Amino acid sequence: MTTTVEETLVLIKPDGVARGLTGQILARIEAKGYTVADLTMLVPSRDLLAQHYAEHEGKPFFEPLVEFMGSGPVVAARVQGHRVIEGFRSLAGATEPTTAAPGTIRGDLGRDWGEAVQKNLVHGSDSTESAARELGLWFA
C-alpha cells in the first residue's frame, strides 16, 4: 500500500514579512506538527498573482489584492502532513483578521488597517485541487 502525504501551499503575505512575523508564523506551523518541506522568498510577478487568484478575477478586491501581494517579498512554503489543508486553514483563522478567533494566526497577529484589501498575513490552499495547482505555480 502506498500513502501520499497531503501538502498545501502556505504564503506569508507582504504584511507578514514586512512586520517581521515570518519566524513566528513558521514556528506555529512546525509547533502544530506539520513539516515545512520547501521554502522560498520572492516578490511575485503580476502574472503569477493573476494565475494564483484567477478565481477572484472581476471581484472588486481583485486589483487591490494583486497590487498588495506584489508590493514586497512573500514567503512561499510547501507544508506537509495528514489533513494539512484543512488544518492550516484552521490555524490561519477566518479571512477577516478583526474577527478571526484568538489562538489563530490572523486572530492573534492580525488586525484591520482600514484599507481596501484585508491584509491578513497568510494564505493557505483550500482544497487538494487548489493545493496541487498553486504548488505548481509557486514551486515551478
Residues of this chain that interact with ligand RTP (CB under 6 A) are: 61, 65, 95, 117-118, 120, 123-124, 126
Length of the chain: 140
Instruction: Find the radius of gyration of the CA atoms of the chain.
Output: 14
Q: Is 123 a catalytic residue?
A: yes
Shortest distance, position 93 Cβ to ligand RTP, whole Å: 9
Shortest distance, position 60 Cβ to ligand RTP, whole Å: 7
Question: Dihedrals φ, ψ of 80, to 5°?
Answer: -120, 150
Nearer to ligand RTP, 37 or 54 (CB): 54
Q: Which residues share a beta bridge with 35?
A: 80
Q: Which of 52, 56, 82, 123 is catalytic?
A: 123
Nearer to ligand RTP, 81 or 121 (CB): 121
What is the C-alpha separation between 70 and 68, in angstroms, rounded? 5
- Name the helix (H) or strand (E) containing 46: helix 46-52
Shortest distance, position 9 Cβ to ligand RTP, whole Å: 9
Q: Which residues are catalytic?
A: 123
